[in-house]
Amino acid sequence: MSDEQGFSVREKQAALTLASIFGIRMLGLFMIMPVFALYGTDLIGFSPLWVGICIGAYGLTQSLLQIPAGWLSDRIGRKPVIYGGLLLFALGSAVAALSDSVYGVAVGRALQGSGAIAAAILALAADVTREEHRTKAMAIIGVCIGISFAVAMVAGPLVASATGLSGVFWATAVLAVLAMLLVYFGLPKVSVRGQIRDVTAAPELFGRLLRDRQLLRLDFGILLLHMTLTAVFVAFPLSLLDAGLAAGHHWWLYLPTLLLSFVLIIPFLILGARRNMNKLLFQGSILVMMTALVLMAVGQGQLWLLALAMLLYFTAFNFMEASLPAFLSMLAPAGAKGTAMGIYSTSQFLGAFLGGICGGVLYQKLGGAGVFLLVAMTMAGWFWLAAGMANVSQVRSHILPISGNIEDRVVTEQLLQRLMALPGVQEALVIPEEKAAYLKVDANLFELDQARRLVNL
């Protein structure tokens, strides 16, 4: 059963299953962040530097393999890549769980990251949903990632206090097996549509997008955002311990601050979309994050101040985590969103790796306060860079399947001209091989039904 306004049952099942698979995997990656500095002290070679390396190691392999794994899924199918990635994730979890040194844990974390399945999952979501519902499917996946981060901040300390560090890694291995069962039992059988430029990367577009200053600002922004995240969690758990909060009780702080932060960002997300204030609120979030980091530095030994700092940090982080992909979707050229997202995701995971390294080095040399203050300085640079961002809030992307023969160049050119003449269309791209038209439009002026009639040749 389905209707014109909503998901079919098949689309709902696929979207929820894919979101669960993505969320389970990210839960496994995040669970180690709030606990490794506390429970890894018995490992051979333990040091603040290796804390950072072990936390961020997944980001290096993830950044290197993210785009190639997406291309591979175009050729051999989505499910084989997802199965392979989850198997690597489970293997990496087992390697880390069995290791008695930080070096083995780092290898295990790198193996976890090598199971880079994000692009394949997003491409499969595009394969199994109609274009008019694809944004909803992607939103469900995005929400599930946010939930997985919140759950990890609570589950990590709980599992570690009960079973130790190895228990956290065994739990992530079990999660990987659970995700594989979801792939087998929960996903419908589908044929790969090949490259869908809204979700998969096109090599020929890399040069163009890497020269786009607006997109580069977003790529650099997500790199800095996740660099700060991993750097903060090299030092923050130790700050809580010094302030008198026992390791097994850290979730007492993380749970309420995360839940409250999710509530706090809702009005700002609505305000940004309705009042065209996205850029202003985005820059304000950078300032809030700077303030939170300074409070972390000056609040050493004061639990209430650390709690306030983490609330501000999570609020700003969650707002920016939601806003950056939305900005990217609005600014990416027609037919290039998948490539732009591939570069963006690579930057995100590279930031996680660099943050681990920088956080470890800084903590070793300057202590926790030094980590927080120097990371705050990078936020100041980001604020200056964000001043040049375009403030777009009503730009949307659409993919329209084309019926009829468009192999003739003249027919293709005529269709392109008609699409560009429609009210609200800013960019249009017709790909004969895909029998699809990619549009970038002003949502206030564009009429989707009019464009659909036009592509029914």
Question: At the fourth CATH level, which superfamily is domain 1-200?
Answer: MFS general substrate transporter like domains (1.20.1250.20)
Quickly count: other Cβ atoms within 10 Å of residue 410's Cβ: 7
- Provide CATH code, domain 395-455: 3.30.70.100
The letter for the amino acid at 211 is R
What is residue 193's predicted lDDT score, i.e. its pLDDT?
A: 56
What is residue 13's predicted lDDT score, i.e. its pLDDT?
A: 83
Residues 6+ apart with CB under 8 A from 145: 22, 23, 26
Name the architecture of domain 222-392: Up-down Bundle (1.20)
Give the residue among 254, 219, 224 at the shortest CA–CA distance from 236: 254
Dist. CA 101–CA 104, nearest whole Å: 5
Return the HEC string of 279-343.
Answer: HHHHHHHHHHHHHHHHHHHHCCCCHHHHHHHHHHHHHHHHHHHHHHHHHHHHHCCCCCHHHHHHH
Residues of the chain below pLDDT 70: 1-7, 131-133, 190-197, 273, 393, 457
Using only C-alpha atoms, what is the Rg of the chain?
22
The two domains 1-200 and 222-392 share their CATH topology (first three levels equal): yes
Q: Buried b / exposed e across 95-120, counting CB within 10 Å, b at 16+?
A: bbbebeebebbbbbbbbbbbbbbbbb
- Phi and psi torsions of 425, nearest 5°: -75, 120
Q: In the beta sheet, which residues pair with residue 427?
A: 440
Residue spans of the domains in the chain: they are 1-200, 222-392, 395-455
| Per-residue CA distances from 29 to 109, 156, 352 (Å) | 8, 10, 11
The letter for the amino acid at 123 is A
Dist. CA 389–CA 437, nearest whole Å: 28
pTM, two decimals, is: 0.87
Q: What angle do CA 218, 225, 29 make, to 5 degrees?
A: 115
